[in-house]
Amino acid sequence: MSYIAAIDQGTTSSRCIVFDQSGGIVSVAQREHRQIFPKPGWVEHDATEIWTNVQSVVRDALAQASLSHADIAAFGITNQRETTVVWDKATGEPVHNAIVWQDTRTDTLIKSLGHEDKFRERAGLPLATYFSGPKLRWLLDNVDGLRARAERGEVLFGTMDTWLIWNLTGRHVTDVTNASRTMLMNLETLDWDPEMVSAMDVPLSMLPEIRSSSEVYGTYEGVPVASALGDQQAALFGQTCFAPGEGKCTYGTGAFLLINTGDKPVHSRNGLLTTVGYKIGDEPAAYALEGAIAVTGALVQWFRDKVGLISSAAEIETLARTVDDNGGAYFVPAFSGLFAPYWRSDARGVIAGLTGYISRGHLARAVLEASAWQTREVVDAMNADSGVDLTTLRVDGGMTANNLLMQFLADVLDVPVVRPIVAETTCLGAAYAAGLAVGYWPSADALKANWHKAAEWEPSMEPAARARGYRKWKKAVERTVGWMDEDDD
């Protein structure tokens, strides 16, 4: 019996999950890495530490299940998207810490590049700090001598998929889903766009080759490395959303709602992103619309680590259940601005509706409810863009363990919320894509048979209460925008 090992290089940790042929989890290993905050708004990772952790979790996951490399049919990779690293081609040493997707240091650069919608047609993305191209440009502008070295072909650029594949196999490649988050790739040609590359002023020679999401890129310890997908696209794939109109929302540090739109990119009029969903070998790419919420699980972590009212993320549900409602408090966690559908980088977080009545239980409620209301706004935008109303929300990710949140989500969306039997859909998607590439699974249809409902939450909120809550939420959101001034760092 052989297995597929998925490597999930995430924002806070790296994990390796080993799956069997039914999609069941055989073992899990995880290591957290340091979050480096050099300045407010700046977030970095040590790419070398991440590579060391990835090697460790692979070793640990195999050891836990008493497996050797010979038992693994393929490795799949999924990764935090947009996080940018540049390294020395000869030594493999990063020239600077990786700049993480949440990092807002490119704010001024973004403003200087032009109108927000300048690249929307070609890249599917608004000009915003999250994407890799501007981060690469910042490194070229700010690391001593880097531009000259880049022009001499001495350094390479990559997102975390590329960094791992390069370390695992020696090849300098990325997949279409990760490339679609750089603001350098043309959505129609699925190749680097000369105009965007030159507007961003980055040397083409340091960019990786763009490949499909599911093919053998090379081998590590004799095992094929056979998939790469950005984490959200991997979750879409893991939820087997293969048909146009099928979608999912993953709740992790942030939350990301993606809907498969088929083999043509659909452009949003409501603040959503157009992105590549996946591309299996030589088959045509599947595109997706994406609604990104920056802060969901991160707000619970903040509540745990910075406020200290709970000692674990799961305890927030216990605290929230000490009260019956939010007591009128609304928490808009615009920590680094508002993402979809607003895209306001000048916004910052607020807690609105505070009175002397508000207790820590109410705050815990407001923290959880923030994830649900933010999802509601993205679903509304998605419905407007697609012209079809969502009838069920498929969810996954760690926060689906929170029953209070899942019930509230069904309540505010007024549709059933469904969790599939493998909540680890990100890893599962990477495993599926790798397994397809090496023939471990015969076809995408065979994967559909593995999808089963593990839990379902039915809406039970009174329409009037829903409308009132949504109105208050929108008023709270209004109070976040325009907070940042020109002279703020």
Partner 1 sequence: MPGPIQSIQRAAEVLKLLAHGGAHQLSVGEIARALDLAKPTVHGILRTLHEVGFVEQEVEGGKYRLGAALFQIGTSYLDGNELRAKALNWSDTLAMRAREAVRIGVMHGKHVLVVHHVFRPDNSRQTLDTGALLPWHATALGKALVAFGEWPDRDLRRFTRHTLSPEDLHTAMNEVRDRDWAYDLHELVEGEASIAAPIRDRRGVVVGAVGISGPVERLCESPDQPPRLELVSYVREAARSVSRELGGLSW
Phi-psi sector, 437: left (phi>0), alpha (psi -120 to 50), beta: alpha
Q: Smallest distance from the beta carbon of 6 to partner 1, in angstroms? A: 13
Q: Is 36 left (phi over 0), alpha (psi -120 to 50) or beta?
A: beta
Closest CB 401 distance from partner 1, rounded Å: 4
- Kindly write out the interface string for residues 446-465 of this chain, putting x where it contacts partner 1 by CB under 8 A and - elsewhere: ------xxxxxx--------
Among 2, 30, 48, 359, binds partner 1 (CB under 8 A): 30
For residues 12 and 219, give the distance between their C-alpha atoms in angstroms, rounded to a whole number: 26
Residues 339-398 close enough to bind partner 1 by CB under 8 A: 398
Residue 269 vs 452, nearer CB to partner 1: 452
Number of chain positions touching partner 1 (CB under 8 A): 29
Q: Which helix (H) or strand (E) holds 227?
A: strand 223-230
Distance in Å, CB of 411 to partner 1, minimum: 14
- Tokens, residue 435: 């397994």
Find the binding residues for partner 1 in span 209-238 (CB under 8 A).
none
Q: Where are the alpha helices (DSSP H) in 334-452?
A: 360-386, 403-413, 425-437, 444-448
Q: Which amino acid is at 9?
A: Q
C-beta closer to partner 1: residue 42 or 451: 451
* Whole-angstrom distance, CA of residue 364 vs CA of residue 351: 12
Position 439 contacts partner 1 (CB under 8 A) = no
What are the structure tokens assigned to 480, written together? Answer: 């976040």
In the bound state with partner 1, the residue whose beta carbon lies nearer, of 264 and 453, is 453
Task: Compute the least distance from the CB of residue 77 to partner 1, in Å.
Answer: 20
* C-beta closer to partner 1: residue 2 or 30: 30
Decide: 383 and 353 in contact? Cβ < 8 Å: no
Of 212 and 400, nearer to partner 1 (C-beta) is: 400
**259-318: contacts with partner 1 (CB under 8 A):** 312-318
How far, in Å, CA of 453 to CA of 394, rounded? 9
Q: Shortest gap between Cβ of 17 and partner 1 (angstroms)? A: 8
Question: From residue 489, how far is each of 39, 41, 106, 112 by CA, in Å?
Answer: 9, 9, 12, 17
Q: Closest separation between CB of residue 441 and partner 1, Å? A: 15
Place of tokens 């039915």: 458
Answer yes or no whether residue 25 interacts with partner 1 by CB under 8 A: yes
Cis peptide before 463 (omega within 30 of 0): no
- Yes or no: say if 131 and 290 are a contact pair by the CB < 8 Å rule: no
Print the binding letters for residues 389-428 with partner 1: x by CB under 8 A, - otherwise: ---------x-xxxx-----------------xxxx----
Residues facing 372 on adjacent strands: none
User: Which CB atom, from 17 or from 370, has the smaller least distance to partner 1?
Assistant: 17
DSSP collapsed to 3 states, 266-284: CCCCCCCEEEEEECECCCC
Residue with smaller CB distance to partner 1, 275 or 371: 371
Q: Which range in 21-29, 131-139, 165-173, 218-226 contacts partner 1 by CB under 8 A?
A: 21-29
Residue (32 or 191) nearer to partner 1, CB: 32
Q: For tokens 């594949």, what's the residue? A: 165
- Closer CB to partner 1, residue 148 or residue 454? 454
Instruction: Verify binding: residue 22, partner 1, rule CB under 8 A.
Output: yes
Q: Which of 2, 28, 244, 270 binds partner 1 (CB under 8 A)?
A: 28
Q: How far is the CB of 421 from partner 1 (least distance, A)?
A: 5
CA-nearest of 249, 224, 294 to 417 is 249
Q: Which helix (H) or strand (E) element contains residue 257?
A: strand 255-262
Residues lying near partner 1 in the complex (CB under 8 A):
22-25, 28, 30, 32, 312-318, 398, 400-403, 421-424, 452-457
